[in-house]
Amino acid sequence: MLHRSWLTVMLTLAVIAAGCQNDGNGMHPESKTIEIGILCPLTGVNASAGEELQAGALLALDIVNGQYDLPLPLAPSSGLRNHGNAALRAVVKDTGGDAARAVQLVEELGQSQNVKAIMGEYGSTVTAAASERAEVMQIPFLNPTSTSPTLTQRGLRWFFRSTPDDHMFANNFFLFLADWASKVDFAWPKRVVLVFENKLWGTSVAQAERKLAGQYGYEIIDEVTYDTAQQDFGAELDRIQAALPAVVLQASYDRDAIALVEGYRKRGIVPLAILGMNAGFVSPGFLSSLGEQAEGIMSREVWSLDIGERKPLIHAVNELFLKRFGRNMTGTSARSFTGMIVLADALNRASSLEATAIREAILTTEIDEDQIVMPWDGVRFDPRTGQNILGKGIIVQVQDGHYRTIWPWELATRQAIWPSSTAAARTMEHGS
């Protein structure tokens, strides 16, 4: 009798354990599930960024579907408590960074998979095409990583963006330069060269920088544009070298950012500042490919691990990310993580799982700064544009092989390291 009772207990525990196993989406297979589509470039030139986008989203689902002692929406409970503790399941689709394929995948997700919402993509060109198709199909579409200002200027009703856009980031560049100029002991030359890829994202960045440069009293002495598919950047480097700018403002993806920085170092192109517009400048391969050549490079960002010194939630979530994926979070995975948390919160608050109810719930999002891993004031969407109006940007610099926050001053963990006096003197000779 005792043996039989013990066997019964063991079998019962085995059944319970099997039912609680995670299937890789942070959900219980036997429970009610709600599917969310995720579009990301897992192949192609932006594959590394796509992997980060996917990883951040999957970690968010782990936390939403499990029980975690974290001050994040839905972390303490299991699943969506307002919908019978339903679990969220990711349906991940690889766009390959191709806009036409992304449109096809939106149709597939909406018609065959019947997802309740879609999150993605990475590149602004791809996001634009995919979200326009989602608009026609009336599928809520949340973008956590694409930054072209044009995306929220199209009058779409079903599109939302949680990340700040490039107009804000470009403005941060000039605010940073103004703060920097107030701290140095020589007249500040205001000669700028714009370097950017020639698709929607790069041209949108350049448009914002062009407009703001005049407002801040900077002279754009050249604009160097290129195609990300090209293999040789010699002509572009010739122009940058001849211009001898005080500042290079650059919008590049992974491969081209690495190639151009290598070119700067080989040619001795040393502006007072090289400010990258995120993307390739903070990709996982940037530091590993360039090594010491990356030292001193600055980039705008939305997140940095060192801010965890002031915001413990960052370190807590990063530890979970490190345990699952074997690496630290990046700005891309942190933004994707935040976007999925925002979407899960809206789904939980929605009065039903109908598309119109979910859209309304996203519109009424109110998430405080203490409930996100980003250094933002929170998440709240403009009802006219779908843009999160509480996002902020930071400036990071590569120091000792790591990204360190150097601006704004109240968040900085390191002082900026300025270029050599020789480089400054060479630039000064050409005047402001």
388 within domain boundaries: no
Examine the domain organization and report whether 80 and 156 are in the same domain.
Answer: yes
395 within domain boundaries: no
- 8-state DSSP, 27: S
Examine the domain organization and report whether 234 and 334 are in the same domain.
Answer: no
* Cα gap 52→149, rounded to integer Å: 22
pTM for the whole structure: 0.82
Examine the domain organization and report whether 56 and 148 are in the same domain.
Answer: yes
Examine the domain organization and report whether 171 and 128 are in the same domain.
Answer: no
Q: Which of 129-133, 165-169, 375-379 has the lowest mean pLDDT?
A: 165-169
Place of tokens 């080989």: 266
Examine the domain organization and report whether 132 and 20 are in the same domain.
Answer: yes
Confidence of residue 419 (pLDDT cuts 50, 70, 90): low
pLDDT average, residue stretch 2-30? 36
b vs e for 331-341, b when ≥16 Cβ sit within 10 Å of the residue's Cβ? bbbbbbbbbbb
Q: Is the pLDDT of residue 336 over 80?
A: yes
Examine the domain organization and report whether 156 and 172 are in the same domain.
Answer: no
SS3 217: coil
Q: Looking at the chain, how many residues does it have?
A: 432
For residue 282, what pLDDT is reported?
85
Q: How does pLDDT run across 233-262, given as a tens digit for each residue?
A: 999 999 999 998 889 999 998 899 999 999
Q: Is the pLDDT of residue 23 over 80?
A: no
Q: Is the pLDDT of residue 338 over 80?
A: yes
For residue 6, what pLDDT is reported?
31
Sequence-ordered list of residues with C-beta below 8 angstroms from that of 309, at least 6 positions apart, any chain: 413
Q: Whose CA is closest to 67, among 59, 55, 56, 75?
A: 75
Examine the domain organization and report whether 268 and 127 are in the same domain.
Answer: no
pLDDT average, residue stretch 57-79? 97
pLDDT average, residue stretch 39-48? 94
For residue 245, what pLDDT is reported?
87
Mean pLDDT, the chain, whole residue set: 88
Q: Which ranges of 116-243 does DSSP label H, i.e. alpha helix?
A: 124-137, 166-181, 200-215, 234-243
Examine the domain organization and report whether 265 and 128 are in the same domain.
Answer: no
Tokens of 231: 């293999």
pLDDT average, residue stretch 104-133? 96
* Cα gap 373→305, rounded to integer Å: 10
Q: Is 237 left (phi over 0), alpha (psi -120 to 50) or beta?
A: alpha
Q: For the residues of 350-414, what is the DSSP string, one character each?
A: SSSSSHHHHHHHHHT--EEGGGSSSSSSEE-B-TTT-BBSS---EEEEEETTEEEEEESTTT-SS
CB burial of residue 155 (10 Å; 0-12, 13-18, 19+): exposed
Sequence-ordered list of residues with C-beta below 8 angstroms from that of 383, at least 6 positions apart, any chain: 363
What percent of the chain stands above pLDDT 70?
88
391 within domain boundaries: no
Q: Which amino acid is at 371?
A: Q
Confidence of residue 285 (pLDDT cuts 50, 70, 90): confident
390 within domain boundaries: no
Provide φ and ψ at 46, rounded to 5°: -105, 25
| Higher-confidence position of 319 and 21 | 319
Confidence of residue 276 (pLDDT cuts 50, 70, 90): very high
* Cα gap 50→414, rounded to integer Å: 29
Q: What is the CATH number of the domain that holds 363?
A: 3.40.50.2300
For residue 299, what pLDDT is reported?
93
Examine the domain organization and report whether 412 and 265 are in the same domain.
Answer: yes
Examine the domain organization and report whether 118 and 209 are in the same domain.
Answer: no
Tokens of 116: 């309740």
For residue 26, what pLDDT is reported?
44
* Cα gap 160→34, rounded to integer Å: 20
User: Hey, which residues does 402 pair with through a beta bridge?
Assistant: 399
Sequence-ordered list of residues with C-beta below 8 angstroms from that of 372, at least 6 positions apart, any chain: 72, 313, 338, 341, 378, 379
**Parent domain of 141:** 2-164+309-379
222 within domain boundaries: yes
Examine the domain organization and report whether 66 and 143 are in the same domain.
Answer: yes
119 within domain boundaries: yes
Contact 128, 152 (CB under 8 A): no
For residue 244, what pLDDT is reported?
86
Output the CA torsion 171→300→238→240 (10° steps).
30
Name the domain count of the chain: 2
For residue 45, what pLDDT is reported?
86
384 within domain boundaries: no
pLDDT average, residue stretch 97-124? 96
389 within domain boundaries: no
**Helix, strand, coil percentages, rounded to 5, for the chain:** 45, 15, 35
Examine the domain organization and report whether 23 and 86 are in the same domain.
Answer: yes
Tokens of 172: 């941060």
